[in-house]
């Protein structure tokens, strides 16, 4: 096959992969087939390289133990706790929205974002409503419903299952 036809075909396969007309692993197979294993078709145009996903995953997973440490094992003032809640909440939501916008649904960053949102929202409920434990149940229930909605929307079984199990555990905690 001449180079001109090969380039047209690989560009078309890249377009299929970017617009999700075919599953990603099919497009990768076809790109490897038509480029004969060269690295020409590894990274589609408009997508970030794999290293960026890894860095984002590492940062989000690193924020989990940091947030637990800051909220539960230190004696910070109410002002600092509120500032950390706002920072972690905004960074988590912006990272999750960025991932949704760029359409890379890696489980680790999304799971870390969901857990950080849970931790920060529960901590915010404890600070805002210190004498109302029922508000913690509402916040946890809303997080579980958000997980179920996200799992349904993006067909992620792990999020649906986590939300359902969370609601079951929450209802057992409330009623027993």
The Cα 31–Cα 12 span in angstroms is 10
Q: What is the mean pLDDT of residues 9-18?
A: 85
Q: Is the pTM of this model over 0.75?
A: no
Three-class SS state of 93:
helix
pLDDT tens, residue by residue, 96-110 = 777 777 766 667 777
User: What is the secondary structure of 66-84 as a DSSP string?
Assistant: HHHHHHHSS---HHHHHHH
For residue 42, what are its two tokens?
Answer: 């590894």
pLDDT tens, residue by residue, 39-80 = 554 444 444 446 777 787 788 778 888 888 887 788 888 788
Percent of the chain beyond pLDDT 90? 20
């Amino acid at each position: 096959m001449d180079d001109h036809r090969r380039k047209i075909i690989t560009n078309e396969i890249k377009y299929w992969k970017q617009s999700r007309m075919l599953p990603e692993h099919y497009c990768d197979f076809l790109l490897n087939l038509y480029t004969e294993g060269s690295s020409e078709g590894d990274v589609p145009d408009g997508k970030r390289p794999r290293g960026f996903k890894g860095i984002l995953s590492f940062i989000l997973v690193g924020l989990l133990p940091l947030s637990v440490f800051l909220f539960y094992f230190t004696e910070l003032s109410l002002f600092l706790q509120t500032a950390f809640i706002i920072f972690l909440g905004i960074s988590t939501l912006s990272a999750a929205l960025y991932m949704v916008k760029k359409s890379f649904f890696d489980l680790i960053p999304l799971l870390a974002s969901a857990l950080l949102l849970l931790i920060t929202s529960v901590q915010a409920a404890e600070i805002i409503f210190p004498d109302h434990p029922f508000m913690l149940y509402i916040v946890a229930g809303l997080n579980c419903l958000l997980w179920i909605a996200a799992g349904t929307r993006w067909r992620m079984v792990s999020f649906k299952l986590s939300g359902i199990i969370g609601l079951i555990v929450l209802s057992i905690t409330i009623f027993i």
